[in-house]
Structure 1
Amino acid sequence: MIGILAVLSVSAAAGMRIALPLLVIGLIQSDMWQRVPILDRLPPQVVIAVLTAWTLLELFVSKQLWGQRLLQFVELVFSPLVGAVMAMAVSRILQLQPTHLIWIFGVVGGLVALVLQLVKVGWFYRLKGLPTWAVLLEDVLCVLLVLFAFKAPNSGGLIALLLLWLAIRSSQSWYRWYKGGVRSEE
C-alpha cells in the first residue's frame, strides 16, 4: 500500500511540472537515473543539462501569463508520459512486488498526471491566468511530493489523493458554472 501512495505522490508532481520532479528524483538517488525508464539510456550529463534547462524555463517563465500559455501545451502533452515514467521509476526504486505490476503503475501514474494537468489548464482559462502565488505554491508542492514519495509516502500519497479530490470538485464546479452561463445566454 505504501508503494501505491508513493506512486500517486510522484504522479501528482508530474501533473504540475514535467522536468522539475525528474530532476529532483535524479538528484536524490545515488545512481541518478539508472532506474528511470527512457532516461536510463541517455548519458547522465545530457539528462542533467536538459532537465536543468527545462526546469529553469518552467520556474521562471511560468510566472508570466505568456509563459503559462507557452508551457501549457507542452506540459499537457508530456505530463502523461512523465507521470508514467516517474511512476514506473518509483516502482523500480522501491522494488515493489510483483514486478509485472510496474506497467499498471505506469498507466495509473500517467492518468493521474493528465487529470491534474487538465484541471490546471481549466483553472487557467477560467481565471484568465494563474496568479503568481498559485504558481509558486505549485512549484513548492511539486518538489515536496517527490521528496515525500521517498521519505514519507503516506503523506505524499494522501496529498495526491487530496489533489485528485479537489480536481473532481473543480470539475463539478465548472459544470455548474458552464450550465449557469449557457442558461443566461438563452
Structure 2
Amino acid sequence: MIIGLLAALSASAAAGMRIALPLLIIGLLHSELWSQVPVLSRLHPAVLLTILISWSLFELLASKSLLGQRILQIIQLLLSPFVGALMSLTVVKTLDLNLQPLWVFGMVGGILALVLTLVQVGWFFRLRGIPIWVVCLEDILCVFLVLFAFQAPENGGLIALLLLWIAIRSSKAWRDWYKHQG
C-alpha cells in the first residue's frame, strides 16, 4: 500500500508542475494509450495525442517568459487538482494495485498538485517571475517524477514528499516575511 501511495504522490507532484506533459508521458509509456486514465479513455487517442502534444509544447515554450508563466499559472490553478487526481488514479490502476478506496488516492493527488501549484504562484509573485533555470529544472523534474512513478515509485514518492516539505517551508518563510513587512 505504501508503494502505491508513493507512486501516486510522484505522479500527482508532476501534475502540480505541468498539466499536459505528465499525461502525454503516461500515454507514450504504455501501449494502451490512455486506456487506464479515467476520463481521457473516452476520447479518441489521435485527438487526445494532438491536444496533449500541442499543450505540452505550449507549456514548455510559454513557461520561459513572464507573460507565459502568468497565463500557465492561471490555467494550472484551475486544472492541477483535477489532473493530479487523474494522475494518481491512473498510476493505481496501471500498476494493478488493489488499493481501496480509490477516491482517497484521487483526493490526495489532487491536493498535492494544488499545493505545489500554489507554491509556484507564490514564488512567481515574490520573485516577480521564476528564473529560466528553475523552469528548466522543473520541466526535467516533471518528466522524472512520471517515470519514477512507474519504474521506481519509492524514489518518486520520496521526491514528491521532499517537494511537499519545501512547499511547507516556503509558506512559513512567506508568513515570516509578511509579518516583518507589516
Structure 1 and Structure 2 fold alike (TM over 0.5): yes
- C-alpha deviations, 1:105-147, integer Å up to 9, x for none? 0010000000000000000000000000000000000000000
Q: Which residue of 1 aligns with 2:82?
A: 81
User: Whole-Å Cα distance in 2 between the matches of residues 179 and 95 of structure 1?
Assistant: 48
Structure 1 residue 102: Cα displacement: 1.5
Aligned residue identity for 2:55: W
User: Whole-Å Cα distance in 2 between the matches of residues 91 and 138 of structure 1?
Assistant: 24
User: Whole-Å Cα distance in 2 between the matches of residues 56 and 92 of structure 1?
Assistant: 27
User: Whole-Å Cα distance in 2 between the matches of residues 70 and 106 of structure 1?
Assistant: 26
Q: Which residue of 1 aligns with 2:26?
A: 25
User: Whole-Å Cα distance in 2 between the matches of residues 49 and 37 of structure 1?
Assistant: 19
Aligned residue identity for 1:94: L
Query: Is 1:167 aligned to 2:181, yes or no?
Result: no
Q: Which residue of 2 aligns with 1:117?
A: 117
Q: Which residue of 2 aligns with 1:107?
A: 107
Q: Which runs of 4+ in 1 moved over 4 A?
A: none
Structure 1 residue 103: Cα displacement: 1.2
Q: Which residue of 2 aligns with 1:68?
A: 69
Structure 1 residue 97: Cα displacement: 1.2
Q: Which residue of 2 aligns with 1:48?
A: 49
User: Whole-Å Cα distance in 1 between the matches of residues 101 and 147 of structure 2?
Assistant: 23
Q: Which residue of 2 aligns with 1:10?
A: 11
With normalisation by structure 2, the TM-score equals 0.98
Q: SS where residue 30 of structure 1 aligns?
A: coil
User: Whole-Å Cα distance in 2 between the matches of residues 33 and 163 of structure 1?
Assistant: 27
With normalisation by structure 1, the TM-score equals 0.96
Residue correspondences, number: 181
Q: Which residue of 2 aligns with 1:142?
A: 142
User: Whole-Å Cα distance in 1 between the matches of residues 174 and 181 of structure 2?
Assistant: 10
Structure 1 residue 30: Cα displacement: 1.3
Query: Is 1:176 aligned to 2:176, yes or no?
Result: yes
Q: SS where residue 15 of structure 1 aligns?
A: helix
Q: Which residue of 1 aligns with 2:126?
A: 126
User: Whole-Å Cα distance in 1 between the matches of residues 162 and 101 of structure 2?
Assistant: 24
Q: SS where residue 170 of structure 2 aligns?
A: helix
- C-alpha deviations, 1:56-106, integer Å up to 9, x for none? 0000011000100111100110000000011111110011113x4211100
Structure 2 stretches lacking a partner, 5+ long: none
Aligned residue identity for 1:110: G
User: Whole-Å Cα distance in 1 between the matches of residues 92 and 155 of structure 2?
Assistant: 17
- C-alpha deviations, 1:29-56, integer Å up to 9, x for none? 1111001011000000010000000000
Q: SS where residue 97 of structure 2 aligns?
A: coil
Structure 1 stretches lacking a partner, 5+ long: none
